[in-house]
Amino acid sequence: MYLETDFVSDFTAGLYGHSHPVIKQAVKDALATGFSLGGVVEKEAQLGEILQTRFKSIERVRFCNSGTEANTFALATAKAFTGRNKILVFDGGYHGGTISFHGTTSNPMNLPHEFVVGAFNDIERTQSLVDDTLAAILIEPMQMAGGVRPASIEFLRFLRESATKVGAVLIFDEVVTSRLHYHGLQGAREVYPDMTTLGKYLGGGFPFGAFGGRADIMEQFNPIAHGRSVLHHSGTFNNNIFTMTAAVAAAELVTEQSLAELNKLGDDLRATGNSIVQQAGLKDIVFVGYGSTVGMGFLGDRGQVLREVFYFTLVKQGILMGRRGFLCLNLAHTKEHIDRFLDVVKVFAEQHRADCDLSHRILSNIIWWLLGTFLVRTDSSNLCKTQGNTDIFRGWIIPNVILIPEVLAIAELASSMPVNGSFYWWAGALAPPGWSHAISFVTGWLNVFTMFASTASFAYAVASSLSYAVTIAAPSMAWTNAQIMCLSLAVIVVWSGVMTLKLERIASVYIAMVQNRPFASARTVFGEYTNFSDWGLGVSVPYSWFCTLWVNSAWMVPVYVAEETHDASREIPKSLWYTFSVTAVIGMVICLVSAFCINDIEAAAADERHVFEDSLKGVHANPL
């Protein structure tokens, strides 16, 4: 599948699109001048001046190879400057592969600093953590990996005042957020840190990181002023010619106007997206973020399912977004790209508004269907016992037609959520808030009971058929219920062998039946109802469909092996439909043969052995 629109944008690093011609040409030119150089290059000085111009807090700057490195060096610099060890960070913060926090839990891969985790955007809960033992306060002015959550101006001002008061170094991680304003979010909020870390898009598509800040803090790297106590910072590729060249070229593309226009696209997307989902009554989807970075929140018990379904809905339309629910606009995006994305949102919202309104009905249908199937499968009475030849045929077709919407619905669920748990997992995912576990539990056990009933009823049907055959051969043999039950257990134990013999016998019986003469008339098969039950037609006709539902129920088996199936989202729905269709067609043929070959319907209704007896006589006369 070809993806036409990329909203991941290299996780915010691809601000210029995939291969901007200006950057591409600059890198080509650099190849002609040499690219493995050990000394300071002119582009390095140019880039330093550009960053000082853009970010007010950066009086001096040093380069490295990634945002992770930038934050690592910034923390070490702050600790050396203050002589302290404790660092205040925030829940949901991500500052690189070795400095990240999921909730209040520290990543096992984190650097062994003395971290204190505060509550993001919560002044009251953070206030008690700020004291004169802090070396640094590290924060993203907007958390990207943490849910595209902007910090409030009040919270940033609180941190600025608190850091100044206790003598801690306030560090803004603007690796991502520097793209949201020409002067970074610090400029947009007019709250300035002591140090700033940068990375991602500023490298023009090449590995890049930078950290800088107040002159007195960065002075620690000056060997002339500090002699042996100087902080050492080195790295072979810190100023590599490709990154420096691409970064300077890319800087020409980043202007106040270009970023403002890109932010407006993001603001419009967010506002329109929220309007669409609100009009659809979807309370579990919300668009958040700031400027050109957009987050989609999928809330509630079904949030995870909705996010996955929406992600793959976009992929089918040739649109790529971050799977965890984010979009990063880049300078190549236009209003047409945004409109196309919003068109998908609108269709998705309309489809899932019905899901939201009818989720309890869907769950009820699943549960009642399972309960009904459990009850139905305990009775495998022959169709001819209620309505004669006519309902042998119609009693097969009508229930199968009724089953088609159910097959399609289960196929759709299996395509969007291909899991072995199937019914109980789907029920839990679609359940109203607070009911997920209970409804999943009930549905799961009903499904188990249904399987038990299906196995038992099928084994009983096979055992009954075998008992009829024995009685025909030995009329003096009278079977008791206990004996038939024991035979049923034996059938279950030797399931595969008995099934093979039974299928061969069925083939013989039906071929023999076709050879019997005379056939029942077409009028008898298609037009005459003979009610052998004590019930009225309103009860006896639907009851005659139970056997059909029991027989053609194996079509749903593929959903239980979804996780072992390659490309399950496609193959499982196809398997469901093929299994159902083939069984329905073959069953219809068998029912037609049966209806035409049963001449004495009254005898067959009174005792099924009449059918077997005539058929078996045909087998003896016409051996296969």
Rounded distance, CA 104 to CA 81, Å? 27
pLDDT confidence of residue 326:
94
Instruction: State how far the Cα of 15 lies from the Cα of 139, in Å rounded to an integer.
Output: 22
423-435 burial, b at 16+ Cβ within 10 Å, e below that, comes to: bbbbbbbbbeeeb
**pLDDT given at position 71:** 98
**Which range (6-15, 84-93, 128-137, 297-306) has the least confidence?**
297-306
Choose among 550, 555, 542: nearest CA to 407: 555
- Predicted local distance difference test score (pLDDT) of residue 327: 96
Write the pLDDT tens digit of every residue in 44-70: 999 999 999 999 999 999 999 999 999
Mean pLDDT of 439-460: 78
Q: What is the pLDDT of residues 351-364, one digit of tens each?
A: 776 554 444 444 44
Tell me what the mean pLDDT of segment 191-200 comes to. Answer: 98
pLDDT reading at 341 higher than 60: yes
549 or 297, greater pLDDT = 297
Q: What is the pLDDT of residue 599?
A: 62
What CA–CA distance (Å, rounded) separates 24 from 27? Answer: 5
Q: How far apart are CA 510 and CA 437, in angstroms?
A: 48
Measured CA to CA, the distance from residue 615 to residue 593 in angstroms comes to: 12
Q: Is the pLDDT of residue 250 over 70?
A: yes
**Per-residue model confidence (pLDDT) at position 525:** 64
pLDDT at 159 over 60: yes
- Decide if pLDDT at 575 tops 90: no
Band the pLDDT of 534: cuts 50, 70, 90: low
Summarised one tens digit per residue, pLDDT across range 404-418 is 888 888 888 888 777
Q: What is the average pLDDT value for the chain, to the nearest integer?
A: 81
Q: What is the pLDDT of residues 83-93, one digit of tens each?
A: 999 999 999 99
DSSP string covering 530-578, please?
---SSS-HHHHHHHTTHHHHHHTTGGGGGGGGGGGSTTHHHHHHHHHHH
**Residues 367-387, mean pLDDT to the nearest whole number:** 41
Whether 218 and 63 have beta carbons less than 8 Å apart is answered as no
The Cα–Cα gap between 419 and 560 comes to 7
Which of the residue ranges 21-30, 106-115, 149-158, 469-478 would you say has the lowest mean pLDDT? 469-478
Q: Looking at residue 434, what is its pLDDT?
A: 74
